[in-house]
Amino acid sequence: MNRRLVGSAAATLVMVLVAGCGGSSEADGKIELSLGLFSDFGYDKLIEEYMASHQNIKIEQRKVKMEQHNTQLATQLAGGRGAADIVALEEGVVSQFRASKDKFVNLAEYGAKDLKSQWADWKWNQGTADNGEFVLGLGTDMGSLGLCYRSDLFAAAGLPTDRAEVAKLWPTWADYAKVADQFTAKTPNVKFVDTGRNVYKAILDQTEEGYFAKDDSYIAERNDKVKSAFDTAAALGTKQQTGALEPFSQEWNVALKQGSFATTTCPAWALALIKAGAGDGAAGKWDVTTAPGGGGNWGGSFLAIPKQSKHPKEAYELAKWLTAPEQQKRIFKETGNLPSQPKVYQDAEVQATVNEYFNKAPVGQIFATSAESLKPTYRGTKDSKVGPVFASALTRVEQGKQSGADAWTQALKEVQDVVK
């Protein structure tokens, strides 16, 4: 290394230290709003339109993986700085952040309560605290439940393939398990379902109270519904009818591509993932019908505004606009994310939506019906901490490491560490 190099290095060093390289927040007099998102909210076009109609506002999206999004948000809330003006909170963690609601703006202060009637009651309630006095977030999409199946694999196993007839096969999850037995008897080399964990989650999502009672007390141990959901899923695992796959992981994608499982529980947003994973080769082979046990909800998010935002009012206006029914309808048509506003379901265009890839299934009708009949489960503050413990337990069963009973016992014990 020669002298000149060292000299210029020192110069760079000083420059960097003195100058500071970050962006300033007020560029050319415009109000800058940042939007902290994960995954695909489908906001790109909407945001451009909003900026065109609001000349004084500049919006930027920050998209990262959901897991990173949550870690970053927690750190930013703890550090008191750096969070986006609007942050997305997924259903699984919204209850966790609800416990720290004083770090967020109470949207009721800006009149959010007037909008209440837009959403399904349960969706509205998930995003509020203090008996509805504190409005933490405005609902975006929801994940009403369907069941996706491979019609070619069903045909090979001698099962019906038409979606109405398939739906008739499994009014309840017990019936679903019977179909699994028939399927496995005929085609033992193909797994019936990707993972028992999703079946478990779907069953649990159809009960009014799961791990927690509505007063937020922990009841999993004495709630028969949790046990029976666990047993149903564990039985599938014990009989080797599941692929023991981590949902939406790379292995799951490979299995989709290889066609090595025949059914999967699918909320509206999962159709795009199945299509992407299975690829063009499987077009028309996948189909979707109603799930056993009626509707349920898996996923969906909220838009919230951290207190550290410098422009809460403008942020609220934007969040309100993005979650309004008209915009939600457009997002459904473009991305397939199902709105959480019932009014949208009646819309003729929504009702008429079909999904080409899924054998032209009338997804608008299927998911809207499922959404309307939905009685969602109460999610306790610690729901997102408890859930993974039981998920791991089922994975142990599917991996053949433990019996269902042992896995259940261990899970109950482990969960104590989290709920106390």
- Binding residues for other proteins restricted to 21-50, rule: CB under 8 A: 21-23, 34, 38-40
Q: Which is nearer to other proteins, 45 or 401 (CB)?
A: 401
Nearer to other proteins, 17 or 52 (CB): 17
Rounded CA gap, 387 and 298, in Å?
Answer: 13
Q: Where does 127-259 show beta strands of DSSP type E?
A: 128-129, 134-135, 137-139, 141-142, 145-150, 191-193
| Number of CB atoms found within 10 A of residue 50's CB | 18
Indicate whether 310 belongs to the interface with other proteins (CB under 8 A). Answer: no
Q: Which residue has the tokens 């606009």?
A: 321
Please name the residue that has the structure tokens 């560029």.
27
Closest to other proteins by CB, 99 or 405:
99
Q: How many residues bind other proteins, per CB under 8 A?
A: 80
Q: Which helix (H) or strand (E) holds 338?
A: strand 338-339
Distance, C-alpha 214 to centroid of its chain: 22
- Give the integer Cα–Cα distance in Å for 261 and 297: 23
374/143 Cα distance (integer angstroms): 11
**Minimum separation from the CB atom of position 399 to other proteins (A):** 4
Q: What CA–CA distance (Å, rounded) separates 275 from 176?
A: 23
Residues 63-122 that bind other proteins (CB under 8 A): 63-68, 70-72, 74-82, 92-93, 96-97, 99-100, 102-103
Q: Which residues within the stretch 235-254 sit at the binding site for other proteins (CB under 8 A)?
A: 244, 246-251, 253-254
Query: Contact region for other proteins (CB under 8 A) — 61-69, 164-172, 223-231, 315-323?
Result: 61-69
Rounded to a whole number of angstroms, the minimum distance from the CB of residue 331 to other proteins is 15
Q: Is 336 helix (H, G, I), strand (E, B) or coil?
A: coil
Closest distance of CB 241 from other proteins, Å:
16
Minimum separation from the CB atom of position 354 to other proteins (A): 21
Q: SS3 breakdown of the chain: % helix, strand, coil, rounded to 5?
A: 50, 15, 30
The structure tokens listed for 196 are 């028992």
Per DSSP bridges, beta strands 191-193 and 261-267 are parallel
Q: Is 283 in the site for other proteins (CB under 8 A)?
A: no
Quick one: which segment of 55-63, 157-165, 168-176, 286-294 binds other proteins (CB under 8 A)?
55-63
Q: Does 351 bind other proteins (CB under 8 A)?
A: no
- Map tokens 């969602």 to a residue: 376
The residue (of 72 and 265) whose beta carbon lies closer to other proteins is 72
Residue in 276, 283, 352, 405 binding other proteins, rule: CB under 8 A = 276
> Hey, which residues between 379 and 408 contact other proteins (CB under 8 A)?
384-385, 388, 391-393, 395-396, 399-402
Partners of 388 in beta bridges: none
Is 419 a binding residue for other proteins by CB under 8 A? The answer is: no
CB of 220 to other proteins, least distance (A): 17
From the CB of 397, what's the least distance to other proteins, in Å? 9
Residues of this chain, 131-190, that bind other proteins according to CB under 8 A: none
Q: CA torsion sign, 153 to 155 to 161 to 167?
A: negative
DSSP H helices in 21-65:
44-53
CB of 6 to other proteins, least distance (A): 7
> Based on CB atoms, which residue is closest to other proteins, 32 or 314?
32
